[in-house]
């Protein structure tokens, strides 16, 4: 992979087009922090190379997105924001550009540090970026106590390319896309607000107020809510963020034509998926006190701990998907795979599904579906395949 972005001497994320040639660029690699040289010759595409001549690093979005987002707002001294709760602008476009006088990065405020604090003529604004985790209840409580207006910018769903063009696109989205931004304080108004966000208010509601039907499942210690909207669509949402639950919901969305709605941090499914989703979530839920019959559900059979070895399927008849991926990489698969229909188990969420599914596709192994199973009390995914 060609490295076209790096960090300069002042800690800024820079693209190859913004720096001077050679060692004089004063840059380091985003991933390994080694000194890099800017190669801007006539022959090759402009890029950074490690001064030590070692192979280029694979630059991942996690290593620069959060840092770059802060940099963009600091340098732009402003943001396009949705209307602050309680404000009702007259204009058709409800969002507006907010100008900042200055922006501080991660200053201490009592016992916590927001990502950015912007100073405006009428007081401060806190800005939080969500890359892999959202502001949790505890932090939200502190923000409420401080009583300082706060927005959160959701970067988790961005498709990011670590290149010069990629940086420009991220910059544009962070500054101008209001769908990624939501007010944490003041709280969104309940009247006319999003009914999906008022998670815990149903209990006190009178019978005259029609609220979507909701079911709550506890999966790996996290609450996952399923709601059916008036028009039949099904919304699934993890109440707190967990990478494992996010992965699980992503898998379910692939299987049942769901899509992620970044603004509300939930997954929207078509009406027909309701019963299947309820079954899947029920099967994944912690404990076994549901009382729901699972007769006829292949996942409910008493599955015993796995005994997979290098050469044979486990006691449930599953092959090991991690092993199959390795075999593809070593050139042994698909030759070593069985003919006809067979199943391969993921063994957790560490599997590089995209790589393996590419191999399947390229070698004519058909991926029929992904099943969710419980084995020894833990949820796992199983590919159903045909060769
Ligand atoms: Zn490196």
Distance, CA 75 to ligand 1 centroid (Å)? Answer: 26
How far is residue 55's CA from residue 71's CA, in Å, rounded to a whole number?
A: 28
Domain membership of residue 334 (yes or no) is yes
Q: So what's the pLDDT on residue 94?
A: 78
d(CA 133, CA 191): 28
Asked if the structure places residue 192 within a domain, the reply is no
For ligand 1, the distance from its centroid to the CA atom of residue 116, given in whole angstroms, is 28
206 belongs to a structural domain: no
Rounded distance, CA 201 to CA 198, Å?
6
Domain final residue, candidates 59, 85, 101: 59
291 falls within a domain: no
Sheet arrangement for strand 5-7: 13-15, 5-7, 22-28, 35-39, 47-50
For residue 14, how far is its CA from the centre of ligand 1 (angstroms)? 15
Which of left, alpha, beta for 199 (phi over 0: left; psi -120 to 50: alpha)? alpha
51-70 burial, b for 16+ CB within 10 Å, e for fewer? eeeeebbebebebbbbbbbb
Query: Could you tell me which residues are beta bridge partners of residue 129?
Result: 153
Residue 123 located in a structural domain: yes
CA 57 to centroid of ligand 1, rounded, Å: 4
235 alpha carbon – ligand 1 mean position (Å): 41
> What CATH number does the domain containing 109 carry?
3.40.960
Residue 228 dihedral angles phi and psi, to the nearest 5°: -110, 125
**Residues 267, 365 within the same domain:** no
* Ligand 1 centroid distance, CA of 95 (Å): 40
Instruction: Report how far apart, in Å, the C-alpha atoms of 36 and of each of 40, 163, 309 are.
Output: 13, 16, 44
Ligand 1 mean position to 187 CA, how many Å?
43
Same structural domain, 73 and 54: no
Residue at 312 is within a domain? yes
Whether 344 and 310 map to the same domain: the answer is yes
CA–CA separation, 251 and 381 (whole Å): 9
Quick check: is 202 in a domain?
no
Rounded to the nearest whole angstrom, what is the distance from the C-alpha of residue 52 to the centroid of ligand 1? Answer: 10
On whether both 173 and 94 belong to a single domain, the answer is yes
Overall number of domains in the chain: 4
Separation of CA 51 and ligand 1 centre (Å): 10
Domain match, 241 and 314 both: no
Tell how far the Cα of 4 is from the centroid of ligand 1, in angstroms: 12
Is 105 buried (19+), middle (13-18) or exposed (0-12) by CB count in 10 A?
A: middle
Same domain membership, residue 307 and residue 260: no
Contacts of 105 (CB under 8 A, 6+ apart): 70, 74, 115, 116
CA of 323 to the centre of ligand 1 (A): 29
Q: How far is the CA of 155 from the centre of ligand 1 (A)?
A: 24
Mean pLDDT of each 10-residue bin along the chain, 387 residues long: 90 92 95 94 86 91 87 95 80 84 90 89 90 72 84 82 87 91 76 40 37 74 80 79 83 84 77 88 69 33 35 70 88 85 84 88 89 72 89
Q: Could you tell me which of 293, 309, 299, 269 has the C-alpha nearest to residue 382?
A: 299
- Residue ending a domain, among 284, 313, 331, is 284
Q: Based on the domain organization, do 274 and 357 belong to the same domain? A: no
Q: Are residues 269 and 349 in the same domain?
A: no
In this structure, the answer to whether residues 181 and 92 fall within a common structural domain is yes
Strand order in 378-386's β-sheet?
A: 318-320, 341-345, 378-386, 366-375
pLDDT given at position 304: 32
What's the whole-model pTM score? 0.51
- List CB contacts of 356: < 8 A, sequence separation 6 or more: 321, 324, 325, 328
Residue ranges making up the domain that contains 118: 65-185
Q: Please report which helix (H) or strand (E) contains residue 141, including its range.
A: helix 137-146
CA 280 to ligand 1 center in whole angstroms = 42
Asked whether residue 15 is domain-assigned, the answer is yes
Same domain, 84 and 181: yes
Cα(79) to centroid(ligand 1), Å = 32
**How many angstroms does the Cα of residue 68 sit away from the middle of ligand 1?**
18
Residue with tokens 């506890």, as numbered in its chain = 218
Q: 170 with 80, same domain?
A: yes
pLDDT at 242 (0 to 100): 76
pLDDT of residue 128: 92
Separation of CA 61 and ligand 1 centre (Å): 14
Q: Tell whether 122 and 226 lie within a shared domain.
A: no
């Amino acid at each position: 992979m060609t490295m076209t972005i790096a960090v300069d001497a002042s800690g800024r994320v820079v693209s190859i087009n913004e720096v001077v040639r050679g060692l004089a660029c004063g840059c380091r690699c985003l991933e390994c922090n080694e000194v890099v040289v800017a190669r801007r010759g006539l022959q090759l595409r402009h890029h950074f190379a490690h001064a030590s001549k070692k192979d280029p690093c694979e630059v991942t979005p996690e290593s620069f997105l959060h840092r770059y987002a802060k940099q963009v707002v600091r340098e732009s001294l402003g943001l396009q924001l949705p209307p602050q709760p309680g404000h009702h602008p007259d204009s058709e476009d409800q969002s507006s550009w907010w100008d900042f006088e200055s922006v501080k990065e991660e200053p201490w405020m009592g016992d916590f540090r927001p990502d950015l604090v912007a100073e405006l003529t009428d007081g401060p604004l806190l800005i939080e970026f969500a890359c892999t985790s959202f502001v949790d209840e505890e932090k939200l409580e502190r923000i409420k106590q401080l009583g300082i207006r706060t927005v959160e910018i959701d970067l988790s769903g961005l498709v990011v390319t670590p290149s010069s063009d990629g940086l420009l696109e991220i910059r544009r989205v962070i500054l101008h896309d209001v769908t990624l931004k939501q007010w944490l304080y003041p709280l969104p108004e309940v009247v006319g607000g999003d009914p999906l966000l008022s998670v815990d208010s149903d209990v006190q509601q009178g019978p005259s107020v029609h609220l979507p039907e909701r079911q709550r499942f506890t999966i790996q210690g996290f609450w996952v809510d399923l709601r059916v909207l008036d028009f039949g669509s099904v919304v699934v949402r993890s109440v707190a963020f967990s990478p494992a639950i996010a992965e699980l919901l992503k898998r379910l969305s692939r299987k049942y034509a769901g899509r992620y709605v970044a603004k509300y941090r939930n997954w929207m499914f078509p009406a027909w998926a309701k019963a299947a989703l309820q079954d899947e979530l029920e099967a994944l839920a912690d404990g076994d006190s549901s009382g729901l019959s699972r007769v006829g559900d292949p996942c409910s059979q008493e599955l015993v701990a796995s005994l997979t070895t290098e050469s044979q399927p486990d006691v449930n008849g599953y092959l090991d998907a991690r092993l199959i991926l390795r075999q593809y990489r070593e050139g042994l698969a698909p030759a070593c795979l069985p003919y006809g229909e067979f199943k391969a188990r993921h063994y957790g969420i560490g599997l590089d599904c995209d790589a393996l599914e590419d191999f399947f596709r390229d070698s004519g192994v058909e991926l029929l579906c992904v099943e969710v199973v419980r084995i020894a009390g833990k949820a796992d995914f199983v590919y159903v395949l045909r060769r």
